[in-house]
Amino acid sequence: MTRGPSDGGHQGADALHGGMDATTAPHRIPPEMPQYGEANHVFELMQNMLEQLLIHQPKDPIPFMIEHLQRDNDCVPKIVILGPPASGKTTIAMWLGKHLNTNLLSVGNLMAKEYSPLAADARRHYQKFQTLPNMLLVRLLQERLREEDCVRRGWILDGFPETREQALMVQTLGICPRHVIVLSAPDTVLIERNLGKRIDPQTGEIYHTTFDWPSSSEIQNRLIVPTGISEAETARKLLEYHRNIVRVLPSYPRILKVIPADQPCVDVFCQALTYVQTVHRSNAPFTPRVLLCGPVGSGKSLQAALLAQKYGLVNVCCGQLLKEAVADKSKYGEMIWPFLEKEIAVPDNIILKVLRQRLDQQDCIERGWVLHGFPRDLDQAHLMDSLGYKPNRVFFLNVPFDSVIERLTLRRTDPITGERYHLMYKPPPTMEIQARLLQNPKDSEEQIKLKMDLFYRNSAELEEFYGQAITLNGDQDPYTVFEYIESGIINPLPKKVP
């Protein structure tokens, strides 16, 4: 994420609630509607179907839509991998193809296709001119993508499109990738890497004299030096690539990722695989209902405040709600006070009444909420769920015991000014102030250990109950933690694979 947590608050809120038209507020949309829409990916389904209708423009849309739904291929890989010569794009494309069980398409295997008059034309043309006209190449690609295995299992395009003209032609035909990866490395590295390239003529596998030499002597003996890998030839190809790529990239805004290729091939592959498995943010209306779980001192309150500030969510702290109910002398406050006074747990049924009263208010329904401090165990989670309060994003903040001890046992309060200090991170300015500082009994190491043991005793069951929860390392800079949480909220939930 590029924006800081304090800026762009209205933009962030508008983006999350983008499906709502502010001119017709207030909206009284039953909470079940967006819950159903997100759980079943209804908005994405309709968006994909509309895109296909506009691209193909069938004479009778109804049978076309039925066929589209029956294919159920909205989530198959559709990947383009680009990069200069010797950047490793073919290797990465092959590894991705095997891992994702999808089809690898290159100019070479498109031309080699059997029983295709179009491919036969392409071979004849290539033998004569050592190049293919754009129209012939694009028609060859279109023919291949219509075949059942590409429809069912998706595809990866290796090194295509090479020019802006090709990119525009494939877009005009409705061939739209979901992820575009561009490998990048300094030209000097690429020239040196290209000189060591060798090819197995039987399998098409690419090896390298320095980085990836086969262990089998049989394979070693049959490797050949590919044509066009001299320093002069590689430099010429690099120049042509740089001239073209700057005009290709603008064709793929928002779905493009540049990965440095000057690193171990396995690292490049891992980054590429992570990217192609992400789901791009949808335009569907979305009201966040965020649950933050974590032990005492894990930073839940700070993260909730940052989310509320940036996205306009209602910050719902369960402990604070109980204190406010007592301060307001409400009917629930009178029931809560004896428990707080004796420092014993407030019964679940009373907590749920106070929580329900807050979450049912119109600001929570319209803007969404971020809840922390409840539920603390599986029984409370079941109770909350039975009443219809279902978070659509759940985060567990894990922090080691030693870090929590450091965060909490060194907290102090000035009894005169009420100012709060931390002996390590925010020490008092004078010895006089330090001498009068007091520690809250709740911040003793013994009390903290009891609370942490209780949380981690229940957390495994809670994580299992919230099956799509995201677990984060809370023991790092709070703004780094916030960026992880933020990306987990604005990106769609992954679609469950049956």
DSSP string of 144-180, one letter each residue? HHTSHHHHHH-EEEES---SHHHHHHHHHTT---SEE
- Pair (96, 195) in one structural domain: yes
Residue 71 lies in a domain: no
Burial class (CB in 10 A: 0-12, 13-18, 19+), 134: middle
Do 226 and 202 lie in one domain? The reply is yes
Q: 295 and 271 share a domain?
A: no
263 and 301 co-located in one domain: no
pLDDT score of 494 = 58
Percent residues over pLDDT 70 in the chain: 90
Q: Are residues 475 and 334 in the same domain?
A: yes
Cis omega (within 30 of 0) for bond into 391: no
In a domain, 131, yes or no: yes
Residue 3 lies in a domain: no
> Which contiguous run of DSSP H or E holds residue 290?
strand 289-293
Shared domain for 387 and 430, answered yes or no, is: yes
Q: What is the pTM of this model?
A: 0.58
Is residue 16 pLDDT above 80, yes or no?
no
Residues whose CB is less than 8 angstroms from the CB of residue 245 and which lie 6 or more positions away in sequence, other chains included: 82, 84, 182
* Residue 409 counted as domain residue: yes
The number of distinct structural domains making up the chain is: 2
Domain co-membership, 206 together with 315: no
DSSP classification of residue 316 = E
Task: State the residue range of the domain holding 186.
Answer: 76-276
Give the CATH number, domain containing residue 367: 3.40.50.300
**C-alpha distances out from residue 296 to 341, 379, 413, 473, 479, Å:** 21, 20, 18, 14, 19
Residue 280 gets the label, from left (phi > 0), alpha (psi -120 to 50) or beta, of: beta
Among residues 276, 306, 337, the one where a domain terminates is 276
Cα gap 466→389, rounded to integer Å: 13
The tokens for 270 are 């891992």
Q: In the listed set 276, 298, 333, which residue is the last one of a domain according to the structure?
A: 276
Q: Which of 276, 307, 334 is the last residue of a domain?
A: 276
Residue 386 lies in a domain: yes
Q: DSSP letter for 204, please.
A: -
Reference 261, options 86, 87, 93, 91; nearest CA is 87
401-403-409-412 Cα dihedral, nearest 10 degrees: -150
> Is 120 inside a domain boundary?
yes
Q: Per-residue pLDDT for 473 more than 60?
A: yes
Contacts 24+ apart (CB under 8 A), 144-153: 144/105, 144/110, 144/113, 145/105, 145/175, 149/103, 150/103, 150/105, 151/71, 151/73, 152/71, 152/73, 152/76, 153/76, 153/77, 153/101, 153/102, 153/103
Q: What is the pLDDT of residue 492?
A: 66
- For residue 467, count other CB atoms closer than 10 A to its CB: 8
- Annotate 72-100 with DSSP letters as a single string: --TTS-EEEEE--TTSSHHHHHHHHHHHH
CA separation for the pair 327, 159 (Å, rounded): 66
- From CA 498, how far away is CA 486, in angstroms rounded? 28
**In whole numbers, what is the pLDDT of the chain averaged over residues?**
84
Output the CA angle 332-338-341, nearest 5 degrees.
120
pLDDT in tens, 226-245: 877 788 888 888 999 999 99
Residue type, 176: C
pLDDT at 179 exceeding the cut of 90: yes
Residue entry with tokens 């947590």: 5
Q: Which two tokens stand for residue 256?
A: 């493009």
Contact status, residue 462 vs residue 375, Cβ threshold 8 Å = yes
Residues 84 and 232 in one domain: yes
Q: Where are the alpha helices (DSSP H) in 173-258?
A: 187-195, 217-222, 231-248
Distance CA 354, CA 322 (A): 7
380-402 in b/e form (b: 16+ CB < 10 A) is: bbebbeeeebebbbbbbbebeee
Alpha carbon distances (Å) from 235 to 184, 190, 199, 207, 313? 15, 9, 20, 21, 54
| Domain annotation covers residue 112 | yes
At 23-45, the pLDDT tens digits run 444 455 566 666 677 667 777 77
Same domain assignment for residues 208 and 186: yes
Q: Are residues 92 and 185 in the same domain?
A: yes
pLDDT at 277 over 90: no
Please say whether the beta carbons of 267 and 418 come within 8 A: no
Could you tell me if 258 and 301 lie in one domain?
no
pLDDT higher at 495 or 71: 71
> What DSSP element (H or E) covers 292?
strand 289-293
Mean pLDDT of 317-326: 88
Residue 426: DSSP 8-state: B
**Of 7 and 386, more confident:** 386
Q: 453 near 435, Cβ under 8 Å?
A: no
pLDDT at residue 1 greater than cutoff 70: no
- Per-residue model confidence (pLDDT) at position 493: 64
CA distances from residue 196 to 91, 199, 207, 308 in whole angstroms, order as listed: 15, 10, 8, 55
* pLDDT tens profile 53-64: 877 788 998 888
Residues in CB range of 121: below 8 A, 6 or more apart: 136
- Same domain membership, residue 260 and residue 298: no
Q: Report yes or no on 62 lying in a domain.
A: no
CB atoms near residue 496 (< 10 Å)? 9
CB 448 within 8 A of CB 409: yes
What whole-number distance in Å separates Cα of residue 498 and Cα of residue 487? 25
Gyration radius of the chain over CA positions: 29
- Residues 117-140 have a mean pLDDT of 88
Question: Which amino acid is present at 110?
Answer: L
